Amino acid sequence: MLKLTMLDLAISGLLVEGDLHGYELKKRLAELLGSWSSVSFGSLYPALRRLERGGYVATVEDVDAATPMSGSLGAELAAFRRDPARRARASTGRRARKVYTLTEAGHAQLTHDLGDPNGDEKSFAIRVAFCRLLPPDQRLELFRRRRDLVAAGLAGRVERDARADQYRRSLFEFQDDRLHRELAWVDQLIASAETESPTDHLTPGGSPS
Amino acid sequence: MLKLTMLDLAISGLLVEGDLHGYELKKRLAELLGSWSSVSFGSLYPALRRLERGGYVATVEDVDAATPMSGSLGAELAAFRRDPARRARASTGRRARKVYTLTEAGHAQLTHDLGDPNGDEKSFAIRVAFCRLLPPDQRLELFRRRRDLVAAGLAGRVERDARADQYRRSLFEFQDDRLHRELAWVDQLIASAETESPTDHLTPGGSPS
DNA sequence: GTCATCATGTAAGCCGTTACATGATTGC
DNA sequence: GCAATCATGTAACGGCTTACATGATGAC
């Protein structure tokens, strides 16, 4: 029952959408987290082994190349059909790939950690990326907590630009703007989530508009 | 000649503006990096010791409380005069404070690492905060490198929102917007730096707006 | 009398980064 | 032949986080 890292969270989340091998996982992580978060193999593979040891993921047989069609590897198959190079590679030998799948325990841990109020705030983006896995009320809570945090961050930013040169003032302005935009974004997320959550926003005597 | 960490960079930069003790340093770091980057003592003090071992900082006598006025502790003194509580604390005993000062080697290393092209991109904000310490051309280079990186990050973000739910799409949009805004900001910084850099922007035959 | 603030540290653990090692295949 | 891509790992190192330890003082 160890706590999932940011990386673990991302891996587990991606595996929900389908079984993947390490190399492909790295590419998906890059496009999910942005290309410059560069998850290296040196952290990816140990993370996978960690998750495997914990029983959160398991390796399955590599069905691709032998039986190309399989579950969520459909996208890969499309490219497979279009690209002659891939076909060639598959027919001849390719280095053995270890394909990972998320276990039930892994799925449970993922949904638990996604909604964990004590979770790392740096993983908020990842949590949003997979928040559809959460029940509506927990999703709403996730957004609300973030909102409060960002608002607090904004409130804490007072009278700091005395004795700051132009560059630092520009930096502070930029960061303030960032926080304001994030606040607006989270508010939008909250609004979006509220329409899907039956409870928790029954402000009685409200304004009909 | 070890490479300064993000934290080392921030510490050194703050010490340029005046000698400080650890506790005060932590507060300054919080307002510089944002309150939720929470530099804890568990990382601050080891970092200070590291810097001291390397000869980048040195401890000096705590002039405050004995001789309240001293160099860059002026701001503290102002509060000191206004606040009776502080006066009382200072006159009676207070736990011994270790006041750190930046050595010449530390200053040299700081300006070197601020302009280092191989430096960590995550420390860009800190670099900007102290970029006035750089010669104009290196400052401009710093901004330009960032610009290229952000632009590359934007270029790398293509066709990723297939099979994404509303929340993830919203996240991607938000992150895209962030990148665009950062690009605009960095462009502004570049423009600002160009007016101060004599060389390097002599685009001949230019457009007179 | 107890809590918050000021003030400085140590120790364990863990995760990520970097560099190294291996090996097949495709394209130039 | 050489580089690039695919593919999976190991080993060392270092820094950050968390928790713990200590101790004075002022406010309620």
What's the residue count for chain B?
209
Lowest mean pLDDT among A153-157, A166-170, B13-17: A153-157
B43 touches chain A (CB under 8 A): no
d(CA A140, C1' D14) / Å: 39
The CA distance from A176 to B32, in Å, is 12
Q: What pLDDT was estimated at residue B145?
A: 95
| More confidently predicted of A132 and B207 | A132
The CA distance from B126 to B112, in Å, is 14
Q: Which residues of A touch B14 (CB under 8 A)?
A: none
Q: What pLDDT was estimated at residue A166?
A: 95
A3 touches chain B (CB under 8 A): no
Q: Select from B35, B130, B192 the Cβ nearest to the Cβ of A153.
A: B35
Six-digit token pair at B171? Answer: 């996240």
- Kindly determine whether the C-beta of residue B197 is less than 7 Å away from any atom of nucleic acid strand D: no
pLDDT, average across residues A127-151:
96
Q: Select from A130, A166, A174 the Cβ nearest to the Cβ of B185.
A: A174
Say if residue B75's pLDDT is above 50: no
Verdict on whether the full-model pTM lies above 0.75: yes
Q: What pLDDT was estimated at residue A89?
A: 43
- Kindly determine whether the C-beta of residue A11 is less than 7 Å away from any atom of nucleic acid strand C: no
| More confidently predicted of A71 and A13 | A13
Q: How confident is the model at residue B200 (pLDDT cuts 50, 70, 90)?
A: low
Order of strands, edge to edge, in the sheet holding B99-102?
B20-21, B99-102, B57-60
Q: Which nucleotides in chain D lie closer than 7 A to a protein CB?
A: 6-12, 15-21, 23-27
Six-digit token pair at A95? Answer: 């280095």
Strand partners, B101: B58
For residue A188, what is the nearest residue in chain B, using CA coordinates?
B170
Give the minimum alpha-carbon distance from A98 to chain B in angstroms, rounded to a whole number: 24
A175 touches chain B (CB under 8 A): yes
Taking the alpha carbons of A46, A23, B155, B157 in that order, is the dihedral positive or negative? Answer: negative
Nearest Cα neighbor of B193 from B118, B149, B128 is B128
In whole angstroms, how large is the CA radius of gyration of chain A? 22
Q: What is the pLDDT of residues B5-27, one digit of tens each?
A: 999 999 999 999 999 999 999 99
Q: Which residue has the tokens 């957004």?
A: A143
The CA distance from B88 to B97, in Å, is 17
The CA distance from A147 to B173, in Å, is 18
The CA distance from A73 to A128, in Å, is 24
Q: How confident is the model at residue A62 (pLDDT cuts 50, 70, 90)?
A: confident
CB pairs under 8 A between A and B: 83
Six-digit token pair at B56? Answer: 């980048």
* Shortest-distance nucleotide from B90 CA to C1': D25
B131 touches chain A (CB under 8 A): yes
Q: Which residue has the tokens 């509506």?
A: A136
Is the CB of A36 less than 8 angstroms away from the CB of B185? no
- 3-state SS, residue B2: coil
Residue B102 half-sphere exposure toward CB, CA atoms < 13 A: 21
Among A127, A149, A161, A168, the residue to mutate for chain B (most B Cβ within 10 A): A168
| B90-129 residues near strand D (Cβ < 7 Å) | 92-95
Beta-carbon neighbour count of residue A46 at 10 Å? Answer: 11
The CA distance from A68 to A89, in Å, is 12
> Counting beta carbons within 10 angstroms of the beta carbon of residue A113, is it exposed (0 to 12), middle (13 to 18) or buried (19 or more)?
buried
Question: Which residue has the closest alpha carbon to D16 C1'?
Answer: B43
Q: Which residues of B touch A36 (CB under 8 A)?
A: 121, 149, 153
d(CA A80, C1' D22) / Å: 65
pLDDT, average across residues B103-131:
95
- Kindly determine whether the C-beta of residue A34 is less than 7 Å away from any atom of nucleic acid strand C: no
CA A178 to each of CA A20, A148, A175, B36, B85: distance values in angstroms, whole numbers, following the listed order: 35, 15, 5, 14, 37
Give the minimum alpha-carbon distance from B183 to chain A in angstroms, rounded to a whole number: 11
> Counting beta carbons within 10 angstroms of the beta carbon of residue B85, is it exposed (0 to 12), middle (13 to 18) or buried (19 or more)?
exposed
Q: What is the pLDDT of residues A98-112, one digit of tens each?
A: 999 999 999 999 999
Q: Which residues of A touch B130 (CB under 8 A)?
A: 168
Six-digit token pair at A167? Answer: 């560059």
Q: Which residues of A touch B189 (CB under 8 A)?
A: 167, 170
**Most confident listed range (A79-83, A195-199, B98-102):** B98-102
> Counting beta carbons within 10 angstroms of the beta carbon of residue B78, is it exposed (0 to 12), middle (13 to 18) or buried (19 or more)?
exposed
Residue B195 is given by DSSP the state T
Q: Which residues of A touch B166 (CB under 8 A)?
A: 192
Task: Look at phi and psi of residue A65 and say left if phi exceeds 0, alpha if psi is from -120 to 50, else beta.
Answer: left
- 3-state SS, residue B43: helix
Q: How confident is the model at residue A87 (pLDDT cuts 50, 70, 90)?
A: very low
pLDDT, average across residues B36-63:
92
